[in-house]
């Protein structure tokens, strides 16, 4: 409940299980799961904290690299 001013919107936290930090970004649930983030299956949008967003970007980038290398 502390530190409200740094949150993008009130009550929005990172939706990766066992994280719970203030959300910085939101991505589609599908792409979050593709990035191997541990989120609920039925979410359409997933809010991510700074760290998990970085992880998300990294993973999606790696996927693209792997895909292009494999062809």
Query: Do residues 33 and 55 make contact, with C-beta atoms less than 8 angstroms apart?
Result: no
In sequence order, what are the beta bridge partners of 48?
25
Q: Is 32 in the site for Zn ion (CB under 5 A)?
A: no
Per CB under 5 A, 49 contacts Zn ion: yes
Kindly state whether residue 14 participates in binding Zn ion, applying the rule CB under 5 A: yes
- Residue 22 forms beta bridges with which residues? 13
37 scored as a contact of Zn ion (CB under 5 A): no
* Out of 13, 19, 59, 63, the residue judged to bind Zn ion by CB under 5 A: 19
Residue 63 corresponds to which tokens in the numbers above? 């996927």
Binding site for Zn ion (CB under 5 A): 14, 16, 19, 21, 49, 52
């Amino acid at each position: 409940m502390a530190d409200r001013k740094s949150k993008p919107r009130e009550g929005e936290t990172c939706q990766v299980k066992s994280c719970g930090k203030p959300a910085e970004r939101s991505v589609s649930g599908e792409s979050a799961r593709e990035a191997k983030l541990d989120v609920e299956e039925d979410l359409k949008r997933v809010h991510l904290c700074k760290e998990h967003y970085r992880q998300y970007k990294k993973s999606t980038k790696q996927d693209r690299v792997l895909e292009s290398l494999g062809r």
